[in-house]
């Protein structure tokens, strides 16, 4: 498979010009090789992911998280990432999280997705713990039933007030900080950055469409519980 065809498909779904100004998605490392027969998919490119790619004779790494600097030992393999542009895309990062929970978004607003429902908060906790056993949450207002839930995969606690203004009872995201949790006017579920985003790798696999062998990297959250 031609690597530029893979990139074309990703950028059709998640155009680079939709990424946040600070972000650096796209082709991070470009080699002279065009023909790709084996690709490894990873949430984050690390030394261990590079090792896995080389051990499995992969010619390309496709990741969600970008690299803000490129170590020299990474420069002999093609590396491509789709980050905030994939977060915004329909069918992207947050949508795959919602799909994993067997829910259906009823509204899209930038990085946020909303699901209309009527579910007891205790039942929703059980659902979230199926994909994130160490999930934590705050419920300052003692909400018992959720009617509208906002979702933002990754680090989305900055959207708490926006979700609140849009009528959400709760936000599902990752990387919740202490003071943010303390002041939240809605329930906030922190399911972990890794756990909220890992499903998006299936999007890359679907776009490749069996035209190259796909390997999912062995990776996990860095946190130990």
pLDDT digits (tens, 9 = 90+) for 150-169: 999 999 999 999 999 999 99
DSSP letter assigned to residue 35: B
- The stretches in the chain having pLDDT less than 70 are none
CATH architecture of the domain 93-196 equals 3-Layer(aba) Sandwich (3.40)
DSSP 144-194: -EEEEEEEEEEE-GGGHHHHHHTT-SEEEEE---HHHHHH-SSEEEE--HH
3-state secondary structure at position 213:
strand
Structure-token match 């299936």, residue found: 202
Fold match between domain 3-86+198-216 and domain 93-196: yes
CA–CA separation, 131 and 45 (whole Å): 23
Domain map of the chain by residue range?
Answer: 3-86+198-216, 93-196
CA–CA separation, 89 and 110 (whole Å): 9
Beta carbons within 10 angstroms of residue 84's beta carbon: 22
pTM (2 d.p.): 0.96
Q: What is the largest CA-CA distance in the chain?
A: 58
3-state secondary structure at position 50:
helix
CA–CA separation, 66 and 69 (whole Å): 9
pLDDT of residue 225: 85
Structure tokens at 193: 């950055």
pLDDT in tens, 180-207: 999 999 999 999 999 999 999 999 999 9
CA–CA separation, 105 and 95 (whole Å): 8
Domain 3-86+198-216 coded CATH 3.20.19.10: no
**Residue 178: alpha-carbon gap to chain centroid:** 22
Contact 74, 56 (CB under 8 A): no
Structure tokens at 164: 């609140």
Burial of 81 (0-12, 13-18, 19+ CB in 10 A): buried
Of the candidates 84, 99, 76, the one whose C-alpha atom is nearest the C-alpha of residue 29 is: 76
Structure tokens at 10: 């990703």
């Amino acid at each position: 498979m031609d690597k530029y065809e893979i990139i074309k498909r990703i950028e059709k779904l998640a155009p680079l010009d939709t990424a946040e100004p600070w972000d650096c998605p796209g082709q991070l490392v470009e080699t002279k090789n065009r023909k790709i027969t084996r690709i490894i998919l990873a949430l984050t490119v690390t030394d261990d992911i590079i090792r896995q790619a080389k051990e499995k004779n992969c010619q390309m790494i496709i990741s969600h998280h970008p690299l803000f600097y490129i170590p020299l030992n990474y420069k002999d393999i093609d590396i491509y990432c789709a980050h905030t542009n994939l977060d915004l895309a329909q069918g992207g990062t947050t949508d795959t999280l919602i799909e994993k929970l067997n829910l259906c978004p009823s509204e899209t607003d930038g990085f946020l997705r909303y699901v209309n429902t009527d579910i007891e908060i205790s039942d929703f906790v059980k659902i979230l713990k199926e994909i994130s056993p160490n999930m934590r949450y705050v419920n300052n207002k003692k909400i018992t039933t959720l009617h509208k839930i906002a979702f933002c995969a990754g680090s989305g606690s900055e959207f708490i007030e926006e979700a609140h203004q849009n009528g959400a009872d709760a936000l599902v995201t990752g990387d919740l900080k202490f003071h943010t949790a303390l002041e939240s006017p809605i329930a906030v579920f922190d399911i972990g950055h890794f756990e909220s985003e890992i499903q998006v790798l299936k999007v890359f696999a679907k776009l490749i469409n069996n035209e190259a062998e796909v390997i999912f990297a062995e990776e996990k959250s860095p946190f130990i519980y």
